[in-house]
Amino acid sequence: MGRLTAEISFQRSDSDSETSCTGYAFLPSAGYRVLVFTTAVDCVNDLFAARLQMAISLGFHIIFAEIGIAMPLMMVIAEWRWRRTGDAAFLQLAKRWANGTAVLFAVGAVSGTVLSFELGLLWPGFMRLAGPLIGMPFSLEGFAFFLEAIFLGVYLYGWDRVRPKVHLAAGIIVAASGAASAVFVVMVNAWMNTPTGYSLDSGGHLVDIDPIAAMQSPAAFQQALHMLLAAYAATGLAVAGVHAFMLLRGASPVFHRRALAIALAVGGPAAVLQPISGDISARVVALTQPVKLAALEAQWKTERGAPIRIGGWPDAAREQTRWALEIPYGLSLLAFHDPGAVVKGLQSVEASDRPPVAVVHLAFQAMVGLGTTMALVALWAGWVAWRRRDVAASRRVLRALVVIAPFGFIATEAGWIVTEVGRQPWVVQGLMRTSDAVTPMPGLIVPMVIFTLLYVGLGAIVVALIASLVRETR
């Protein structure tokens, strides 16, 4: 008897309300296939596992991406101040921050590599569709990453080996490359929100592909601006909070005063400008993703002169938002700069085309609340400095900086929930649903658990290393 070999594959069908999977065993030697099972539960669980794994990976990586953008700028400013003043505290600060940047860069590189594999392994449908359009910004991001890695090595090991101007230039290249790397990645996400650079033929296939036009999608500028400001604000004020805490404990006042000044110089202006960037972002979302805007504000009905809501709990079953403080005409005014403008509500689309409203609305509220608090504290610190008073001597300001130290990173996580969950059920807005992009491979809960444990381990190592660096400055 000849041996039969079986290959299991899965066909996925997506409707407006549910996703189902059918498994077949293909028997090439016998020339036929046998139905193995049909179930919606396994498929939905795998889709959820893939989404959750990607969410955890992005949520972990984005923290290190933000630090990789802002920390090099702070270390360069510290070195520049040392070369201008000869103050040894600035030299010590530049070297400490450089060591911290190296540790966090390494972890960011690991988590970023995992993400690149996950795109291909978990979302082959997305890569098959979008690859020709997003390949260029990903390639440019890779170039910026390698440039950053090379010159970070020069910076770390070149203190006594290269000329001072060359060493400082290496640090500037590290800072610029980190920012450029983030911009290129954000361009990909902006394209997913507002896809451009292609045409569709009669069969629904992408033709006339233009990667340059794709990089210039309507959301590209505002998302890149918002991300860069978020990175500088979150990292700058987090570092300021750490050094404010050390000053409150009476540790090395000269060193920590210098560190606090630089951190506030980077994080403070970014935190103040971030609400302006948010206003620009909201208007782009209003024009290009009206359903996402409706989810952000839990706006159920299409309404002229729509109110803006503070707080509240969206009730999807009743299609209403409970316990919210409503400001009349606020949403129309902010989104369209016209208090009488019409705002499209969630009821304008089928329930299957709406994102999870409660998740998006609460994440948006958290992002706005935390960002506003950061801006107010930054303005307070700036006002104290403008009055020629010593910020480091104001214990109230120092305590406020300690409290808001983690706010920027929490707001960033909330912001990415708004961006990604707010686009659901689309992986590419209006072009491909997330359920069509996921791999048909079963058992995705296993890699999700494995990678989550990996991130927990990496996170614990990073916390221990950074804590040891901070303890050295007492």
pLDDT tens-digit readout, 56-98: 989 988 998 999 999 999 999 999 999 999 999 999 999 999 9
pLDDT value for 473: 62
203 pLDDT above the threshold of 90: no
pLDDT value for 387: 86
pLDDT band at residue 384 using 50, 70 and 90 as cut-offs: very high
pLDDT value for 210: 94
b/e 377-403 (16+ beta carbons within 10 angstroms → b): bbebbbebbeeeeebbebeebbebbbe
pTM here? 0.88
Tell me the C-alpha distance between 250 and 393, whole Å: 11
Are 277 and 225 contacting, i.e. CB atoms less than 8 angstroms apart? yes
Mean confidence (pLDDT) of the chain? 87
pLDDT band at residue 100 using 50, 70 and 90 as cut-offs: confident
Comparison of pLDDT for 206 and 411, the residue scoring more: 411
Lowest mean pLDDT among 32-36, 101-105, 183-187, 434-438: 32-36
pLDDT value for 31: 43
Lowest mean pLDDT among 81-90, 227-236, 313-322, 440-449: 440-449
Lowest mean pLDDT among 34-43, 190-199, 267-276, 338-347: 34-43
Are 243 and 260 contacting, i.e. CB atoms less than 8 angstroms apart? yes
388 pLDDT above the threshold of 90: no
Spell out the SS3 assignment of the chain.
CCCCCCEEEEEEEECCCCEEEEEEEEECCCCEEEEEEEECHHHHHHHHHHHHHHHHHHHHHHHHHHHHHHHHHHHHHHHHHHHHHCCHHHHHHHHHHHHHHHHHHHHHHHHHHHHHHHHHHHCHHHHHHHHHHHHHHHHHHHHHHHHHHHHHHHHHHCCCCCCHHHHHHHHHHHHHHHHHHHHHHHHHHHHHHCCCCCEECCCCCEECCCHHHHHCCCCHHHHHHHHHHHHHHHHHHHHHHHHHHHHHCCCCHHHHHHHHHHHHHHHHHHHHHHHHHHHHHHHHHHHHCHHHHHHHCCCCCCEECCCEEECCEEECCCCEEECCEEECCHHHHHHHCCCCCEECCHHHCCHHHCCCHHHHHHHHHHHHHHHHHHHHHHHHHHHHHHCCCCHHHCHHHHHHHHHHCCHHHHHHHHHHHHHHHCCCCEEECCCEEHHHHCCCCCCCHHHHHHHHHHHHHHHHHHHHHHHHHHHCCC
Query: What tokens appear for 442 in the block?
Result: 């079963």
Are 64 and 109 contacting, i.e. CB atoms less than 8 angstroms apart? no
pLDDT value for 331: 94
Tell me the C-alpha distance between 191 and 212, whole Å: 11
For 273-297, the pLDDT digits (tens) are 999 999 999 999 999 999 999 999 9
Report, as an integer, the average pLDDT of 369-386: 95
314 pLDDT above the threshold of 90: yes
Q: Cα dihedral sign for 254, 270, 213, 433?
A: positive
Tell me the C-alpha distance between 228 and 201, whole Å: 37
pLDDT value for 403: 96
Lowest mean pLDDT among 23-27, 239-243, 457-461: 23-27
Q: Give percent above pLDDT 90 in the chain.
A: 66
Comparison of pLDDT for 23 and 286, the residue scoring more: 286
Tell me the C-alpha distance between 425 and 361, whole Å: 16
